[in-house]
Amino acid sequence: MGKIERIEVSATDRERLETLVRGRNTPQKVVWRARIVLLAGEGLRATEVAARVGTSTLTVRRWRR
C-alpha cells in the first residue's frame, strides 16, 4: 500500500468541521468523519486517529483517501 499524504486543513475548513463536531443535531457518522479529518490534519497516524474516534484503522484510511 502506498503512503498516504498528510491532509492540509485550511483555517476556514477547520472552523466548519469543528462546528459540525460540536453541533447537537449533527448525525454521528458526520461527526466521526469530521473528527477523522481534523485529527489527520494535525498529523496523527491512522491508528491514533482510530483510537481517539473509536473506529477502525481501515475506516480512517478510507476517509483519508
- Report the alpha-carbon distance of residue 59 to residue 3 in Å, rounded: 16
pLDDT at 2 over 90: no
Q: Provide the 3-class DSSP secondary structure of residue 23.
A: coil
Could you tell me the pTM of the whole model? 0.84
Q: Which residue blocks in the chain are alpha helix, DSSP H?
A: 11-22, 28-41, 46-53, 57-64
Residue with C-alpha cell 479529518? 37
Q: Which three cell numbers stand for residue 13?
A: 475548513
pLDDT in tens, 9-52: 999 999 999 999 999 999 999 999 999 999 999 999 999 999 99
pLDDT at 63 over 80: yes
In the chain, domain spans:
11-64
